[in-house]
Chain A
Amino acid sequence: MNNFGILRTIAWRNLWRNPKRTLITLIVVTVGLWSILAFSMLLNAWAESSRQNALGLLIGQGQIHAAGYMDDPNIDHLMPPPDGALRDVLDSDGVAHWVARLQLPGVVQSEYKTLPITILGVDPAGEREISLVPDKIVEGRYLNGLDDDAVIIGANLAKRLKTTLGRRIILMSTGADGYLEEYSFDIVGIFDADQGFEDSYVFTGRSLLQEYMGLDDEIAQISFVLPDESGLPAMIDTLKAAAPDLDIRDWKQVSVMAAAMNSAMKSIIYIWLGIMIIMMSIGIINTQLMAVFERTQEFGLIRAIGLKPRMVLWLVTLESALLMAVGMVLGVILAVLTYFGFQGGLDLSGFSRAMEAIGSGQVLYPQFAPADFVIYPVLIWVIGVLVALWPAYRAQKISPVEAMRHAT
């Protein structure tokens, strides 16, 4: 197609005929794309940070329970500690760390108040490998061993119970024999996490809790993390094969909240994308309509000379496509530079209270999703070219007779 070469030349040169207008449109398109990519990096960072936080506190990358426990988490749905094939998988190189926990619904009582709670009997040595809670002790200490006769509780729970470090509280839960068991514990540590987490969990030694509840070595939950999260789906399959009777889930199935947070972030990005696409479309239509209007005589001329209407449509569309393409390239370059600029992390510790409320860490690391850097520009480019068909259609409609009649 010989024709397209010259049309490309004309289109490209026409872009720079009114440099000011072209630059304004270019800025709109470039900044629009950049904002989408930067926003997406930031929100993904935020989502990732809060996911890491949620997973790091308790969930891990996946969990194993006895069948029925997730629907009815109580002492009737426990399981023995892992052995045999399951134990082999958990101890293999495919799993970085795992811990076994006894987790039971119960009630916590201080002199002032009684509150519902989830009681966790943990293996402190294992938890130090897998959980962020040991690092979040702000007063006192973490648990010492499987039979540590003590509890740690969240800062907000302590406040609500009007109790403090060193005081005693009572934990109550239904024991193996079906009767309510109640024991008192020293508060040896206070931890600081998001408020929901602080209010929900108390931790004590696992062996001790098993003994108090009249159990042998039964557990409620295994939480594990992998050396590399990308192996998660395969590992879930491996575990299911090793323990077909157990309920084995990845973090998304364990924590609907963490998964919902992730998809909410995506929706925000899509809304922003929609707003930016509308703004850019208005910009490109406006620019191209003005350009077409100003060049009425020129379109009349090239139609008179013998350019087919279809080719005029093509010429104007090509101009829009080139303009959008330049904007997309600049937008991507700007976004990549932004990424490298903040690669070391965006320190938001100034807003630490707000960040904690949304369950996120204080330093955000921009998340580079290479697919975003391709999909968004291509999508915007295609939409931009499609909306620019309107001015192009107007140009195609210009009659050479009318155009030349007004030329003098």
Chain B
Amino acid sequence: MMQALVTCRGLTKVFGKGELAVHALDGVDLDIHRGDFATLAGPSGSGKTTLLNMIGALDKPTSGEVTIEGTPLSTMSKAALSELRLEKIGFIFQAYNLIPVLSALENVEFVLQLQHVGAAERRERATAALHEVGLAGMESRRPSAMSGGQQQRIAVARALVSRPSIVLADEPTANLDSTTTAELMELMSRLNRDNGITFVIGTHDPRVMAHSQRHIEMIDGKIESDTND
């Protein structure tokens, strides 16, 4: 069988100590495969965000190991983890996805600049990414002059433009109305279908889950169920 893109083995994460300790993750084993379009569902406090943070190399587990494309994260320095996030992972958060002082195009170009992509190629790829998410013609707008749905589209473009191995989205539609949510999910599943981009999306929203091909359900820091359509 093909090697998994991401593997989680025996992941635990404990916040706090003694009486107050919270077991946010309590022994998670999970493989994400190339081309997955997975939703991570579960009640509030079940550990969705915590697990996404582990996969995204943003936080370290209390015990257990995460590997991305075969590389274990536990031994890597902060700077090396930054590098790994830059090269391999795209992030879409619920809010505060964008740098307010940069225009839509500059926000998308930002990651390419960090990757030392040359100016001409950068401009071309960023423009294409904005086009792809349906924001052609809005390149020079600042985020504050755009709607919540448009801002999330910029975030999608930004997450994709660096050609990451995996895109992690934590409640990407939480601030959006149902029409905009549908449009954004449509966009992401099209990118998954047509371009083979791997998505893991943490969400409460049944409308989001409806789009996914793999449903992972968490309860109390454990994986309760993991089903494919």
Please give the residue numbers on chain A whose beta carbons come within 8 Å of chain B beta carbons, in ascending order: 2-3, 5-6, 9-10, 13-14, 17, 297-298, 300-310, 400-401, 404-405, 407-408
Contact = CB atoms under 8 A, between A and B. Distances in A.
Given A302-B99, A309-B78, A6 B94 contact: no
Contacts of B116: 2-3
B110 A6 contact: yes
B98 to A, nearest CB: 8
Contacts of A2: 113, 116
Interface stretch (B85-93, B129-137, B210-218): B85-93
A303 B99 contact: no
B91 A10 contact: no
A5 B114 CA distance: 10
Given A10-B101, A301-B93, A407-B94, 14 more contacts: A3-B116, A6-B109, A13-B102, A17-B100, A298-B96, A301-B96, A304-B85, A306-B84, A306-B87, A306-B111, A307-B82, A309-B78, A309-B79, A404-B170
Contacts of A6: 106, 109-110, 113-114
A14 B107 CA distance: 14
B95 A10 contact: no
A307 B81 CA distance: 10
B186 interface: no
B94 A308 contact: no
A357 to B, nearest CB: 58
B79 A308 contact: yes
A405 B170 CA distance: 11
Contact of A298 (B99, B106, B111, B113): B99
B83 interface: yes
Nearest to B86: A306
Nearest to A296: B96
B113 A401 contact: no
B15 to A, nearest CB: 11
A303 B96 contact: no
Nearest to B101: A13
10 contacts: A10-B102, A298-B100, A304-B58, A305-B158, A307-B114, A308-B78, A309-B78, A401-B53, A404-B58, A408-B94
A353 B7 CA distance: 89
Given A306-B85, A310-B79, A407-B93, A301 B114 contact: no
Contact of B86 (A9, A10, A305, A404): A305
Nearest to A407: B96
Contact of A308 (B82, B98, B110, B170): B82
Contacts of B101: 10, 13-14, 17
A306 B84 CA distance: 7
Nearest to A400: B58
A173 B221 CA distance: 108
Contacts of B189: none
The majority secondary structure among interface residues of chain A is helix
A301 B151 CA distance: 14
A408 B202 CA distance: 15
B180 interface: no
B114 A407 contact: no
B224 interface: no
Contacts of A300: 96
B154 to A, nearest CB: 13
Contacts of A400: 58
A405 B96 CA distance: 11
B47 interface: no
Contacts of B61: none
A25 to B, nearest CB: 18
Contacts of B114: 3, 6, 305-307
Instruction: Give the top 9 A-B pairs by smallest Cβ distance, nearest first.
Output: A306-B86, A13-B101, A297-B96, A306-B85, A308-B82, A6-B113, A407-B96, A2-B116, A401-B59
Contacts of B158: 305
Nearest to A1: B116
Interface string B65-86: 0000000000000110011111
A6 B89 CA distance: 21
Contacts of B78: 308-309
A400 B94 CA distance: 14
Nearest to B113: A6
A6, A297, A306 — most chain B CB neighbours (10 Å): A306
A2 B109 CA distance: 12
B151 to A, nearest CB: 12
A309 B83 CA distance: 11
A29 to B, nearest CB: 22
A291 to B, nearest CB: 12
B172 interface: no
A306 B93 contact: no
A310 B102 CA distance: 21
A31 to B, nearest CB: 27
Contacts of A5: 113
B97 interface: yes
Contacts of B91: 304-305
B42 interface: no
Contacts of B171: 408
B114 to A, nearest CB: 6
A303 B91 CA distance: 11
